[in-house]
A and B are shown apart, each in its own frame.
Chain A
Amino acid sequence: MKILVSFKSVPDPNDVTIAGAAVSTPKSVINPFDEIAIEEALRIRERAEATEIVGVTIGAPAVDEQIRAALAMGVDCAIRIDDSRALDPYAVARILSAVVQKEAPHVVIMGKQAVDDDSNQVGQMLAGLLGWPQATFVSKIEFLDNKTRARCTRETDAGLEVVEVNLPAIITTDLRLNEPRYVSLPGLIKARRKPIEALTCDQLGVTVRPLTTVLSIARPPKRAAGTRVESVEELITKLKQEAKVL
């Protein structure tokens, strides 16, 4: 079985500066949800259910650092789609669908969303474009019937939902699927010899143009300090008149 994992290079969530519509960081990292996707692919291979893991990301050569981190974790080889534009989810899904057609994986695993834009759309759009089944917000994956189907446990607001999808399929990962491993020094050294293929959208035969534009980004407003109420009556009054939740 061949697994394609897609990952996005995002600003280090612990260290970002916001100015206008731009988020800058001294250090980029692999999107934490995508790291969970990579980890899951590695575990599937360690269970001898997969033989090959291909990583794919989109970006300028600077994202090679995150690609090497993925290779150091254990991904076999990687493709970088050379495009430094700020792409929206639909553009990303279109590019990834071309990569999927080229690589023909049995399953695509990716994070449910990226922590920088929180769009949570690429996996769903990719499934739509390919006409593949999808299982999103997944916290457990099992392969069934000689790896022709996958049983996925999804985390929803109502609780856990178990779905089965025929392969090939798109699976997006939730936080509790696993805890990603640490890059080991041998992994780091091996990663230096693993191939990174750089492709342009032209070479893939796709033309994408962002359909949405980000106008501005702002930090959430600071929450005001709470107040102490003297009685239940006062609390109810405040909930009705100030918070307007009752």
Chain B
Amino acid sequence: MVCACLTAPPRACRVAVYRVYRVTPAACGSGVAEAVRDGTSGSQADGELNGMDFAWSDQQRELLDAVGRFASQQLNYNVIENDRDSVFNHDAWKKCGSFGIQGLPVPAEYGGLGMDPLTTVAALERLGYACKDNGLLFSINAHLWTAVTPLVYNGSEAQKKKYLPGLCNGTIIGGNAMSEPNSGSDAFSLTTTAVKKGSRYIINGSKIFVTNGPIADLLVVFATVDKTRGPDGISAFLVEKDSPGMNVARKLEKMGVRTSPMAEVFFENCEVPEENLLGNEGGGAFLFTRSMTWERGCILASAVGSMQRLLETCIRYANERKQGGQAIGKYQLVASKIVDMKVRVESSRHMLYHYGWLSGHRKAVYLEAAMTKLHIADCWVKCCEDAIQIHGGYGYMTEYEVERELRDAIGSKLYSGTSEIQRNIIASMLGL
């Protein structure tokens, strides 16, 4: 008996205690972390297994395969040229729309597929694996998480009926306008104003880094109705392209995801009908926080696919390329890089799926979304660096399509909250 206790404690003695944090999203948006202790015993009752199933259903597998086939055969043309010339692939966007990508998480009654978050992120991962145009995927992500999701959650019935079917089938391109020249990480310090005048709101201010700005048909614009109310004054508005007073100015040149257009947008006495208020007046900060949580959790799903593709490319290259009389993969320094890539892909994928599972089961995901985003962004950039290193001089050449991945990946540490902001969120959720 004594021996047994010393060598290995019986399973029932091991009590796994982990913390689940529930966020009460306060209007200030920073969220008040409420720690809930949830103790579960590691023991299992008489052969009963706890629910943890990593298998895809036949239907999920069928769907994921279809996404892979579609993307690999329909979306990978002119990628190098479009990246060089900063050209958005409209045709590919429309194909994605009619195929069903933009409708993945949208309820069927509004023209979507009504997929749960786990299936959605897995489909986006497969899309990222099979489609090499990261800019197109970035535009799709911006569309899904900053325009579609807020509409699904906060839109009125009339707004959903009006916009969601088009947003799903590829005929309407969405985006949001939040960041301002002087309000980035401190998002709720925005200064764009919305003043109610009769049955309209008059919006004034300027927005920067508006993803899809030059191509968007519909923008979710954040403005304050009362600066003195702080975050409680922030409201969201659905602003259609060509609204009087809205001016999509300078298209912004950037380092990566160059096929996803970005612009600065000015509002000068831009009139928006009151029925285009999204959610409640003053509800914008909460709406933004919720859509950001979705975005953080899902936006790098395609990056996991991209990493998997890079991993396979590197394995192939390391087996084919011979130096010093042997395949370079036989050199431990090369093999070790590839091993690290593999571990990064797998850990990223598990965090992504776990986020998707939690989200689908309506569990709190504020913390998990931030961790998922932080981890995948780090892994993606490191994978790309290693992939270039493994390919040597060839990896630095555009035609090998590895250097573009690095340029595309680096932005992931900046958008949807910088890696520093993700760390702040995680620290605050840990009670620090």
Contact = CB atoms under 8 A, between A and B. Distances in A.
B100 A184 contact: yes
A182 B70 contact: yes
Contacts of A183: 66, 70
A182 B99 CA distance: 8
B59 A192 contact: yes
Contacts of B67: 185
Interface string A177-208: 00000111110110010000000000000000
Nearest to A188: B66
Contacts of B59: 192
A192 B113 CA distance: 13
B288 to A, nearest CB: 29
B113 A189 contact: yes
Contacts of A192: 59
Contact of B74 (A68, A72, A182): A182
B98 interface: yes
Interface residues of B, number: 16
B253 interface: no
Interface string A216-231: 0000000000000000
Nearest to B113: A185
A189 B62 CA distance: 10
B63 interface: yes
A185 B74 contact: no
Interface string B130-164: 00000000000000000000000000000000000
Interface in A138-197: 182-186, 188-189, 192
A107 B113 CA distance: 34
Contact of B103 (A68, A72, A186, A188): A186
A39 to B, nearest CB: 15
Interface of B: 59, 62-63, 66-67, 69-70, 73-74, 98-101, 103-104, 113
> Which A-B residue pairs are the 7 nearest by beta carbons?
A185-B100, A184-B99, A184-B100, A186-B100, A182-B70, A185-B113, A188-B66
Given A185-B67, A186-B113, A192-B59, 16 more contacts: A182-B69, A182-B73, A182-B74, A183-B66, A183-B70, A184-B98, A184-B99, A185-B63, A185-B66, A185-B101, A185-B103, A185-B113, A186-B103, A188-B63, A189-B63, A189-B113
